Chain A
Amino acid sequence: MKVQNNRAWLMVLPMLLIVALSAIIPLMTVVNYSVQDTFGGNEFFWVGTEWFQEILASERFHNALQRTLLFSALILAIEIPLGIAIALAMPRRGMAVSFCLVLMALPLLIPWNVVGTIWQVFGRVDIGLLGHGLASLGIDYNYTQDTLDAWLTLIVMDVWHWTSLVVLLCYSGLVSIPEVYYQAARIDGASRWAVFRFIQLPKIKRVLLIAVLLRFMDSFMIYTEPFVVTGGGPGNSTTFLSIDLVQMAVGQFDLGPAAAMSLIYFLIILLLSWVFYTIMTSLDNDAAASKGGQ
């Protein structure tokens, strides 16, 4: 076994190099900026954790973080149940299956910025189908001026764009459940809810975990779509962490605070992903423990 392990290391070496070049080195550059200050030119001063303290204490950061967390929470709360529901409703056999799968895959094939542009146009009160339609129904809708409208637009857009991913993942889990489970449940007199709770949910748990993780990370890092649609407005109401970060780094050229902020941002994502993962796999571990215990 020992010999095998050494060779395995050799095999992953090229991959490690690529990871180092593409991730670790840029990350280190960011770390480097985050502890220094510059007044232009190539002069840098050591400032220690000053930028971090400043960012963590700033109201601007807190507000952006809260907005981002709220956005992710709303996205998960809508997309996960909706995705499961659509997956449950999808046909299991026949011609309709491929039709549904293609339909579901379509939004996933559209690039982010295009999605943003589509919705930006779609929602415009003057020429957009949605905006104009709502206006003609007498509903006061304007995502460039109303905070609630802006949020609604972003959430509906994200749900439209990404629920398919959850659907497809759940569907793959659902179709792998053998038919006898459903037959046994019918014989046991199980309600639709009991079938979901005790057969379908346990069997799709693993893919669901992946879906939750992917959707959380994606929504927490969302940038392109709000940038295209609302540009962070009205006011700062849709300025999420990512948008704030870019404004700070590119707009104001505050490299030090921006670097510190990206590190904090990165750690938050890492931490939350880990928390999600631990919570959702804990059930599995329980089972494994009871298995090992006997």
Chain B
Amino acid sequence: MASIHLKGLAHRYPAASSGATVPYALNPLDQVWDDGGAYALLGPSGCGKTTLLNIISGLVRPSEGRVLFDGDDVTDLPTEQRNIAQVFQFPVVYDTLSVADNLAFPLRNRGLEKAIIDARVAETLVMLGLEGRAHERARSLSADDKQKISLGRGLVRTDVRAILFDEPLTVIDPHLKWQLRTELKKIHERFGHTMIYVTHDQTEALTFADKVVVMDAGVILQVGTPKALFDRPRHTFVGTFIGSPGMNVLRCEFDGEQAFVDGVKIPLDAATCSVARGRGLHESTSVRLEIGIRPEAVTVSGEPKTGPAVRLIAVEDLGRHLLLRLQLGSQPLCALLPEGAEIPEQPTLHFDPAMTLLYADSLLVEGTDDTEQTSAVRVEAYA
């Protein structure tokens, strides 16, 4: 296992015609990922997460910067010499081989002794719960078992420094997704491999990882624990991308004490206000200000005059939750209420100041004492 250090890393795909400058597929970044950590790279299609993964695995050579495993520069090493394992979107198994032979394959390629191979394969079969199927042909297995074998070919090796996952649950049924996900989590807890998991699915990313790296358009927007990403998204994109539905983002004005959404007063907490005042946001006209609040943190009540009135557009019953589509002034707003909650006919809104965030030009207005690992983030490049 290894820590992974991405040092001044950036990537541009080669230009189609010489002389033309191609935009970065991956903007310059510095990241240190700890040994034994579970990381998720989360973002929409084309955000650069797969490029980043391929740079780590060695399938793509970065155009700038270095990749270090435990301090060793591996930038110029080919994939096979980096000692990584990778699980792809579509299960890759060697069709003609049995389950056990599939697992033995990477060990045989490395010329290990038969006794060692047999022992490792037997151990891995138990780890994956495939003991009874060792001699079945791999291609007769279902998609989720094939994915287990793909993972197993990494687990079987003792020299693996990191296991990479490229949207591994894409072709798996929802019920089996739960199983495979928790098994993966358990394997991580037990054996402590460094794992990097690429996905566009927030549930997979948040449930899998200790630290989630949120990317868009080739830029890392935030690196943080699932809780930090949920509670204090540093960028409005992170807020709207994470959560289902995502964070409400409303254009607002700020007078130094509180925010106003289309004239409706929204209280903010004192710390935010003082930081915002300190940056002169209450006097600036060039900065675009927005408040962000999670649908889960929006509460409504039927008692009049306890808060601003809001127009109820629609109520969607999602089984576990009720989704209220509201309109505050001219802007749409969602609220998520628990199953069976009563919906007032004339709802008034309540925002918890502690959960109401202020964004200036899409970036969170926050104190400098924030301990989250965000210093390395370079958001300037992100339009």
Chains A and B belong together in one complex: yes
- Say how far B343's CB is from chain A's closest CB, in angstroms: 49
Q: Is the CB of B150 within 8 A of A202?
A: no
* Residues on the A chain within 8 Å of B78, using CB: 186
* A186: contacting residue among B80, B90, B137, B140, CB under 8 A: B80
Stretch at the interface among B65-73, B91-99, B246-254, B367-375: B91-99
Is A190 an interface position by the 8 A CB rule? yes
Is A199 an interface position by the 8 A CB rule? yes
A178-210 residues at the B interface, CB under 8 angstroms: 178, 180-181, 183-184, 186-191, 194, 198-199, 202-203
- With contact pairs A189-B109, A190-B109, A194-B109 given, residues A181 and B140 touching in the complex (Cβ less than 8 Å): no
* Of B85, B88, B92, most A-chain CB atoms within 10 Å: B92
- Say how far B116's CB is from chain A's closest CB, in angstroms: 15
Is A5 an interface position by the 8 A CB rule? no
Stretch at the interface among A89-97, A156-164, A234-242, A286-294: A286-294
Is B105 an interface position by the 8 A CB rule? yes
Is B106 an interface position by the 8 A CB rule? yes
Per the bound structure, the CA–CA distance linking A198 and B90 in Å amounts to 17
Per the bound structure, the CA–CA distance linking A290 and B80 in Å amounts to 33
Q: Is the CB of A290 within 8 A of B136?
A: yes
Q: Is the CB of B92 within 8 A of A190?
A: no
Per the bound structure, the CA–CA distance linking A294 and B133 in Å amounts to 10
- With contact pairs A180-B88, A184-B150, A189-B106 given, residues A290 and B140 touching in the complex (Cβ less than 8 Å): yes
Beta-carbon nearest neighbor of B166 in chain A: A180
Q: Is the CB of B140 within 8 A of A294?
A: yes
B89-146 residues at the A interface, CB under 8 angstroms: 89-90, 92, 94-97, 105-106, 109-110, 136-137, 139-140
Closest 6 CB pairs of A and B: A291-B140, A188-B106, A189-B109, A184-B92, A198-B94, A180-B88
Interface residues of B (CB under 8 A from A): 57, 59, 78-80, 84-86, 88-90, 92, 94-97, 105-106, 109-110, 136-137, 139-140, 150, 153-154
Can you spell out 24 A-B residue pairs with CB atoms less than 8 angstroms apart?
A: A178-B90, A183-B57, A183-B59, A184-B88, A184-B150, A184-B153, A186-B59, A186-B78, A187-B85, A187-B106, A188-B105, A190-B105, A194-B109, A199-B94, A202-B95, A202-B96, A283-B96, A286-B137, A287-B95, A287-B137, A290-B140, A291-B137, A294-B136, A294-B140
